[in-house]
Chain A
Amino acid sequence: SQTIHQWPATLVQPVGSPLSLECTVEGTSNPNLYWYRQAAGRGLQLLFYSVGIGQISSEVPQNLSASRPQDRQFILSSKKLLLSDSGFYLCACARTSGGHETQYFGPGTRLLVL
């Protein structure tokens, strides 16, 4: 079965600083990977998804970017953080069975921008 790792678990960053969050997956190959953000009291917002190395699609225009340098590595970055970037960042990995895709979440990174 697949395992999703995310780090760091928590992060406090000043406004204007850069960001790099990492997600790695074990136990599967060539998975579809997703980045979500969950702001306080709000639903899950899809930020990026990737179907393979170097293939990134953005769902919401913002000051964040994503990269997939390796098959099982997905990175979320920012050059300059905004206060509104605070939230719970979740990486998800998809598994397909019987023609249906199911997404499983990693433990998440909680980001506070001050």
Chain B
Amino acid sequence: QKEVEQNSGPLSVPEGAIASLNCTYSDRGSQSFFWYRQYSGKSPELIMSIYSNGDKEDGRFTAQLNKASQYVSLLIRDSQPSDSATYLCAVNRYTGFQKLVFGTGTRLLVSP
């Protein structure tokens, strides 16, 4: 079992729709969870961080965390073609230092 699992996609949604990206993790001791957006050929850019169970909203983005079920999700409302990118889920694991373990990413395609 991978430490952090994501569906590779592509996830295709029409412009204006809600995109839902999911991630599961295996380490129950994880305390910090992150979503990064990576455009093709570019470096990852932090979108959201979440540390507590529940929802966290920032503009069109909402991160959801359920530690009991070991999943974290990212909702993108009113999806735009500019949201088309690969979204990386990252989970921390403390091994003497704060190590981030990344999923392989979900590719999102938003069609006009």
Interface residues of A (CB under 8 A from B): 32, 42-44, 46, 49, 51, 57, 59, 88, 90, 94, 100-108, 110
Q: What DSSP secondary structure best describes chain A's contact surface?
A: strand
Q: Chain B: how many interface residues by the 8 Å CB criterion?
A: 23
CA distance A32 to B98 in the complex (A): 9
B32 to chain A: which residues have CB within 8 Å?
A: 100-102
In contact, A32 and B97 (Cβ under 8 angstroms): yes
B38 CB, nearest partner CB in chain A, Å: 9
Interface residues of B (CB under 8 A from A): 31-32, 34, 36, 41-46, 49, 51, 88, 90, 92, 97-100, 102-105
When C-beta atoms are compared, the residue in chain A nearest to B104 turns out to be A43
A-B contact count (CB 8 A): 48
Cα(A44)–Cα(B34), bound, Å:
14
B46 touches A107 (CB 8 A): no
